[in-house]
Structure 1
Amino acid sequence: MHVSKRIAAARPLATTAMHERVDLLKLQGEEVIDFSIAISHFPAPESVRAAVRAAVEEPLLPYTAVGGAVPLRAKLAAKLVDENHITAEGHHVIVTNGAKQALYQSLYVMTDPGDTVIVMRPHWPAYVATSQLLGLDIVLVDQPDVVDAAFLDRLPRAKVLIVNNPHNPTGKVYTQAELRHIRDWLRARGSHCIVDESYEKLIFDGEHHSLAACADWEKLGIVTIFSASQSYAMMGWRAGFACAPATWVKAMEALQGPITAAVPALTQVAAEAAFAVGDVPELLADYRVRCDLVVRMFEPVPWIAIAAPDSGPYLWGDITGLTLDTVAFAETLIEEFRVAIMPGEALGCPGFIRIGYIADDEATLRRGVEAIIALGNRLAARGAERPAARVPG
């Protein structure tokens, strides 16, 4: 059966593919510990659940405007002003089915096939996969510890720079100085920027600042993406939105209309309640305890370097001293130990592993980490081979 050229080369995201594999094993009666993605053991906020329960009892759930109900967009714009210091109004907001839809629609209206997009690695796999679907020229660059003018000056000409702040998987939180350098670079180059701020509430150290918190954000062409999935433990709710220049929001609505139309009314109710919550101190404190536990467990292990991140639900481990083939490491781990992790190849960095540590209970978390250590110790004792690094992308 013929498949169009547009999709023939596309492959399922490694992140979702591994999670689906875990689900299949569980359906077969297997006990699997899933560190491959971050699924919180916390429930969605009670205010969200209460709002949705009330909405279900209403006699009608009507269609809304494609970009989202007007009152919701106004409230999200107020959140942007109050929390992110972005000068936005309702017409700058479009409500989407999570961050992925916001990313796709943003890139779709900002670029044409053949345009260059810069993605810093390690990266969320959707940045590359979406760019490939849209026929863009992807330039992968290694994210430095500090983003400064010298780093940015070395970047090639590009239509769009994608920034993830806070960052998945390293947990990097961009400083105000770094964001100023990026804004200066955008002004000098005439490039635009997509900033994924989905993890804005999950910061352990430092403070979150939005790139678009400047008077000329709309002229610069900065799109900022938000999601309730991680910040409010709402993975399955698919509630997200984007803040973008008004012209691009209209274009994104034109794209969304024939595909999904508006986000489901219940999801919009959930989004309104979620983004009204603000900070999540109880969730954040729990995550920090878990994060510190895993870091301490790995501290005496010689073949892995893993540091406590400044933010986020992931730990990023360097096992290049053991092996560069982390796909094989992950395969052995799930086949023999029934523990799933995400190999660094999926995020553009062979020799690294990503561990989502926020699911299940503490005992299960410990068992999963012990399995990773056991496999690594076994390979180290045997003198693990170090194959040539695979080409990312």
Structure 2
Amino acid sequence: MDLSRRIARSRPLATADLHGRVDAMKLRGENVIDFSIAISHFPAPPAVLDAVRDGLRQPSPYTAVAGDPQIRARLAAKATRDNRIPATAAEILITNGAKQALYQALYAMADPGDRVIIFKPHWPAYVATCRLLELEPVLLDLPEQFTDAVLDGLPPARVLIINKPHNPTGKLLNEAELDRIAAWLRRTGTRAIVDESYEKLIFDGAHLSLAARADWQALGIVTLFSTSQSYAMMGWRAAFAVAPAHLVTAMETVQGPITAAAPMLMQQAMAAAFDSGAPEAMLADYRQRRDLVIDLLRNVPWIRAHSPASGPYLWMDVSRLGVDTVEFSERLLSQSGVAVMAGDALGAPGHIRIGYICDDVDTLRRGVRAIISCGNQLFQDA
């Protein structure tokens, strides 16, 4: 059967592909420590489980494609309360995960051939989605700081994608940087998609939203929120977008024939999660794990890793090994049974990304020590 030109030139996400390989290995009975993706060992918050129990006792209707009106109002209140985004229910779209929101936002905001600026290292879905939609991803290095000079040096583009807190580096943006980005959007007419999926996983500093300004609608800012990492709800596929009302309508037009509304139980669960406050116990656990791994790596001569300000990943520069990072990750998986994501998939060869929040602490230690042992052997042989 012939394939369309669009799909024939597309490739599966490297992150999803590796995670699928690891799952297949586990099904065969192989012992694998999976650092390739961040899957929390925490359950969903009690408020979420209570909301689902209550929801199971009620009728579960189809809702409007954009979501149940009352739940959209609760999520608008969350955006106003937590993120200082003055949003209304008409500016909320509930989706089956952040990837769906990203796809629909890009579909509604750009036409084939339009440029989309993406900073690397990047979440692979940004590039893959652009290519599916026949947009032109423009990959640029994530700057140390967003200055006026950096912003004025960006090429013309239809859309700018900002990921904050950043996957995989954990970088946060301060208020001055956000003000400069907003001013640049005004000057250039560029629109922005801001992925704030890790907003609750802040160890140091504070999370600030780019859309926390009176003219966010005029600037054309779409903000994505997700419970996946912020509330340990990876498999729930619960997310929403805050966007100008006309863009919500356009994104709803895309969503209608694909999935229609997200499941009502998921909508109820997501609203309960965001109403439950900050996940303090989970964050404290993650902070201890982050510090443990950084301490284990402290005297390893071929790894450069900083303690991230946020997020469920650690980003490591392993370029001193002098080997291809894809080959290193394959050797680590085959010889040591530890899966890590090579930075090549995120636009940054010479690096690896590890998700450090799954399994127990002893498993985390064993996995990190296996990485060190494998790299030490290569470093000594170099």
Q: Which amino acid aligns with 1:5?
A: R
Q: Does residue 14 of structure 2 align to residue 5 of structure 1?
A: no
Q: CA deviation at 1:266?
A: 1.2
Q: CA deviation at 1:268?
A: 0.8
Q: Cα deviations across residues 117-149 of structure 1 (Å, max 9, x unaligned)?
A: 000000000000001111111111000111111
Q: CA deviation at 1:324?
A: 5.1
Aligned-partner SS, 2:229: helix
Q: How does 1:307-318 map to 2 (within 5 A)?
A: 307-318=306-317
Q: What is residue 283 of structure 2 aligned with on the other side? A: 284
**In structure 2, distance between residues paired with 1:138 and 1:206:** 30
Q: What is residue 358 of structure 1 aligned with on the other side? A: 357
Q: How does 1:108-123 map to 2 (within 5 A)?
A: 108-123=107-122
Q: What is residue 205 of structure 2 aligned with on the other side? A: 206
**In structure 2, distance between residues paired with 1:132 and 1:323:** 31
Q: What is residue 343 of structure 2 aligned with on the other side? A: 344
Aligned-partner SS, 1:138: strand
Q: CA deviation at 1:31?
A: 1.1
Q: Which amino acid aligns with 1:76?
A: L
**In structure 2, distance between residues paired with 1:283 and 1:372:** 25
Q: Which amino acid aligns with 1:375?
A: C
Q: Which amino acid aligns with 2:261?
A: A
Aligned-partner SS, 1:311: coil
Aligned-partner SS, 1:51: helix
Distance 1:324 1:124, change over 3 A: farther
- The 10-residue stretch of structure 1 (49-58 or 95-104) with the greater mean CA deviation from structure 2: 49-58
Q: Cα deviations across residues 182-206 of structure 1 (Å, max 9, x unaligned)?
A: 0011001110000000000000011
TM-score, scaled relative to structure 2: 0.99
Q: Which amino acid aligns with 1:9?
A: R
Q: Which amino acid aligns with 1:44?
A: A
Aligned-partner SS, 2:48: helix
Q: CA deviation at 1:231?
A: 0.2
**In structure 1, distance between residues paired with 2:349 and 2:178:** 28
Q: What is residue 20 of structure 2 aligned with on the other side? A: 20
Q: Cα deviations across residues 156-180 of structure 1 (Å, max 9, x unaligned)?
A: 0000000001000000011001101
Q: Cα deviations across residues 256-279 of structure 1 (Å, max 9, x unaligned)?
A: 000000001111111111111121
Aligned-partner SS, 2:314: strand
CA contact (8 A) 1:166 1:312 kept: yes
Aligned-partner SS, 1:231: coil
Q: Does residue 126 of structure 2 align to residue 135 of structure 1?
A: no
Q: What is residue 389 of structure 1 aligned with on the other side? A: none
Q: Which amino acid aligns with 1:51?
A: A
Q: Cα deviations across residues 213-247 of structure 1 (Å, max 9, x unaligned)?
A: 11110001000000000000000000000000110
Q: How does 1:225-240 map to 2 (within 5 A)?
A: 225-240=224-239
TM-score, scaled relative to structure 1: 0.96
**In structure 2, distance between residues paired with 1:248 and 1:264:** 22
Q: What is residue 90 of structure 2 aligned with on the other side? A: 91
CA contact (8 A) 1:35 1:342 kept: yes
Q: Which amino acid aligns with 1:328?
A: E
Q: How does 1:379-390 map to 2 (within 5 A)?
A: 379-383=378-382
**In structure 2, distance between residues paired with 1:344 and 1:252:** 32
Q: Which amino acid aligns with 1:319?
A: V
CA contact (8 A) 1:52 1:266 kept: yes
Q: What is residue 194 of structure 1 aligned with on the other side? A: 193
Give the count of matched residue pairs: 382
CA contact (8 A) 1:324 1:352 kept: no
Structure 1 runs of 4+ with >6 Å offset: none
Q: What is residue 386 of structure 1 aligned with on the other side? A: none
Q: CA deviation at 1:346?
A: 0.5
Q: CA deviation at 1:54?
A: 1.9
Aligned-partner SS, 1:87: coil
Aligned-partner SS, 1:254: helix
Q: Does residue 45 of structure 2 align to residue 45 of structure 1?
A: yes
Q: What is residue 54 of structure 2 aligned with on the other side? A: 54
**In structure 2, distance between residues paired with 1:131 and 1:193:** 14
**In structure 2, distance between residues paired with 1:269 and 1:10:** 35
Q: How does 1:157-176 map to 2 (within 5 A)?
A: 157-176=156-175
Q: Cα deviations across residues 80-128 of structure 1 (Å, max 9, x unaligned)?
A: 1111000100000000011100000000000000001000000000000
Q: CA deviation at 1:323?
A: 2.9
